Copies of this chain bind each other. A is one copy, B any other.
Amino acid sequence: MSAHPRYSLNQATVKYASLAEAIEATKSAGIQSIGVWREPVADIGLDAATRLIADSGLRVSSLCRAGFFTTPDGPDRVAALDDNRRAIEETAALASAGAEGSAAVLVLVAGGLPTGSRDLVGARERVRDALGSLEPFAASAGVTLAVEALHPMFAADRAVVSTLGQAIDLAVEAGPSVGVVVDTYHLWWDPDVLPQIARAGQLGRIASYQVCDWLTPLPADVLLGRGVPGDGHIDFTSLTSAVAETGYDGDIECEIFNADVWARPYDDVAAETSDAFTRVVAPYL
């Protein structure tokens, strides 16, 4: 089988696969790159994971994910920042193990409002502070921190960074080793998304482009409403063209949270998402 050379299978799309199984599915579909998640790496340990990646011949397109640093000062915040530093080291190790063209990119999800808090402005300030404190560490490790704006429906409980413009502002303020994720699922609705993609490109801040579709009706658990590109409402033409016009030339991940997709054989999911990418996204690169 062949796949588009820039297509990368994000491991969340085959959520229940071990790293070895995810690598096997990726290779079975002729895909050259994989987006790795920390949990399956932790399951086997970083050393074993880097050996698997090195042996696979695949590129690593990103490591998902760290962040979750909206908590106020105290032991929880110290622990969160420590965990982010470990994730930065993991990112560097995995990208070094990956084939040439791997990206040392760590995806960051900001975290929601602390329990019982309604101080959205304060939570956003703590994200800014955390990025500022982590940036030098990331820079010295050769890692790019990629701030991911999540859909505004997750603002309370998952990520207080809600728009691409906000993510870019945070990246610029934090320093050169911080960029942004452009994720179609989270951003497609934004009236300002195309100019903000252009702005992210002009500032050299696009660290990752992730594609998945918006399905309706939303499922009972809205976390799981993501679809294979082409199955939903998102116009991949304009979004992909906007990313391409910035000169972004990295791998492009398909990251799908969807119980039906997760229940299917990993090889089939890899092949079908690769095919969807070739049909729906690749023509606009």
Known contacts: A151-B152, A235-B120. The answer to whether A189 contacts B162 by CB under 8 A is yes
**Is residue A121 contacting chain B, with contact meaning CB distance below 8 A?**
yes
Nearest Cβ on chain B to A188's Cβ, whole angstroms: 7
B166 x A191 contact (CB < 8 A): yes
> How far apart sit A118 and B231, CA to CA, in the bound complex (Å)?
11
A238 x B152 contact (CB < 8 A): no
**Assembly stoichiometry (copies):** 2
- The residue in chain B whose Cβ has the minimal distance to the Cβ of A154 is B189
Within 8 A of B (CB), among A188-240: 188-191, 214, 216-218, 220, 222, 232-235, 238
**Is residue A157 contacting chain B, with contact meaning CB distance below 8 A?**
yes
**Is residue A27 contacting chain B, with contact meaning CB distance below 8 A?**
no
**Is residue A20 contacting chain B, with contact meaning CB distance below 8 A?**
no
Q: Report B-chain residues with C-beta under 8 Å of the C-beta of A233.
A: 113, 118, 156-157
> How far apart sit A235 and B118, CA to CA, in the bound complex (Å)?
5
**Is residue A155 contacting chain B, with contact meaning CB distance below 8 A?**
yes
**Is residue A61 contacting chain B, with contact meaning CB distance below 8 A?**
no
Q: Report B-chain residues with C-beta under 8 Å of the C-beta of A151.
A: 152-153
0 or 1 for each of A9-40: is its CB under 8 Å from B? (1 = yes): 00000000000000000000000000000000
Q: Apart from A124-B191, A156-B214, A162-B191, what 10 extra A-B contacts exist at CB < 8 Å?
A: A113-B233, A118-B233, A119-B235, A152-B190, A153-B153, A155-B188, A156-B233, A157-B217, A162-B189, A162-B190
Interface residues of A (CB under 8 A from B): 113, 118-121, 124, 151-153, 155-157, 162-163, 165-166, 188-191, 214, 216-218, 220, 222, 232-235, 238
